[in-house]
Amino acid sequence: MSDTKPAPIVPNFDDDETDRKLVFICSKGNLDMAYPGLVLANAALGEGIQVDIFFTFWGFDMITKKRMNKLKFSPVGNTAMHLPWGDVRVPQWAAVIPGMQPLATKMMKKSIDDLGIPPIDEFLDQITASGGKLWACKMSADMQGLTEADLRDDVEGIINASDFMGLSEGAQTLFI
Amino acid sequence: MPTTTLSGHEVHVDDEGFMTEYDEWTEELGAELATQIGIEMTEAHWALIRFLREDYLVKGETATTRRVQAAGGVPVKEQFALFPKKPAKKMAYIAGLPKPAGCV
């Protein structure tokens, strides 16, 4: 069964309609928690949505030059961590064994790479190339003794909480 | 599955209008699809569309913008310049391929 339509069916790309705006607050510095914000931000940009990402607290490691490629993953406190075979969870007593964190980090990085998903720095390169803007939190910078020189060159600026209110005006905001 | 008429050819499309039969596509139809969504094709556009077509045969799925950069060598920024706002979907549409299934 097929039905022929006289006029071509053209997807509605909604180019001129979307004024949707998303702001992501990235507050975590663990490898596993760095990705959700980046994946969603990247997807939003691919849909023509305006994206700003605000890095605060531990999330600062994602934009700090000397730290951004050294994010770790730890199974400690994560009861949903499974072994790669069977359906076996890593018991918490085993999560603290020396060597477990580097091993878990290595495995996660490999899984991410196998899917063709870039490491943090390259992912942020892609996001800024797609028009996303990166912002750093003033309080986090002060607490950690960091300045703009320590951050990625494409960070738009170090802004305070009031500035953030302006940035997020009219936006949907996701805290991660 | 609906069909639609493009440049006088009857082709199979999904509900949104993306072509569903790889072999029904020709560059002539690609040009027509581009016109429908307001893209003026240049050689740079075509190079990308050809990459997407070839890559689909190898991988069995439509390349994401990430893959077009990593495997196709065209930076994401340029993809946005050529196919504004929604490059992945627009490229797939013109190339007669399904929307990319991957997240990144």
DSSP letter (8 states) at residue A30: B
Q: Is position B54 within any domain?
A: yes
Q: Is position B66 within any domain?
A: yes
| Separation between Cα atoms, residue B71 and residue A74, nearest integer Å | 32
> What local confidence, expressed as pLDDT, does residue A110 receive?
94
Task: Answer whether residue A1 shows pLDDT above 60.
Answer: no
Q: What percent of chain A has pLDDT over 70?
A: 94
| Separation between Cα atoms, residue A138 and residue A170, nearest integer Å | 22
Question: Would you say A126 and B76 are in contact if contact means Cβ atoms under 8 Å apart?
Answer: yes
DSSP string computed for B21-53: -GGG--HHHHHHHHHHTT----HHHHHHHHHHH
β-strands A133-137, A155-159: how paired? parallel
Contact A5 B85 (CB under 8 A): no
For the domain bounded by A21-71+119-175, which CATH number is listed? Answer: 3.40.1260.10
User: Containing domain of residue B56, as a range?
Assistant: 3-94
Three-state secondary-structure class, residue A102: helix
Nearest by CB to residue B4, choosing from A5, A48, A130, is A5
Q: Is position B99 within any domain?
A: no
Predicted complex ipTM: 0.88
**Tens digit of pLDDT for each residue in A102-113?**
999 999 999 999
Catalytically annotated residue among B1, B57, B101, B103 = B103
| More confident: A124 or A12 | A124
Confidence of residue A12 (pLDDT cuts 50, 70, 90): confident
**Tens digit of pLDDT for each residue in B5-44?**
888 888 999 998 999 999 999 999 999 999 999 999 999 9
Contact A9 B103 (CB under 8 A): no
Q: Is position B76 within any domain?
A: yes
> What local confidence, expressed as pLDDT, does residue B33 receive?
94
Confidence of residue A82 (pLDDT cuts 50, 70, 90): confident
- Total number of domains constituting chain B: 1
Q: Is B77 a catalytic residue?
A: no
End-to-end CA distance of chain B: 28
Q: Is position B100 within any domain?
A: no
Stated pTM of the model: 0.89
pLDDT (mean) for A13-28: 86
Q: Is position B65 within any domain?
A: yes
> What local confidence, expressed as pLDDT, does residue B83 receive?
96
Q: Is position B104 within any domain?
A: no
Mutation site for B-interface testing, chosen from A126, A127, A128, A154 by largest number of B Cβ within 10 Å:
A126
> What local confidence, expressed as pLDDT, does residue A4 receive?
55
**Tens digit of pLDDT for each residue in A38-77?**
999 999 999 999 999 999 999 999 999 999 999 999 989 9
End-to-end CA distance of chain A: 47
Mutation site for A-interface testing, chosen from B66, B68, B78, B83 by largest number of A Cβ within 10 Å:
B66
CA B33 from chain center: how many Å?
Answer: 9
Q: Per-domain residue ranges for chain A? A: 21-71+119-175
| Separation between Cα atoms, residue A56 and residue A23, nearest integer Å | 13
**Range with lowest mean pLDDT among B7-16, B47-56, B69-78:** B7-16
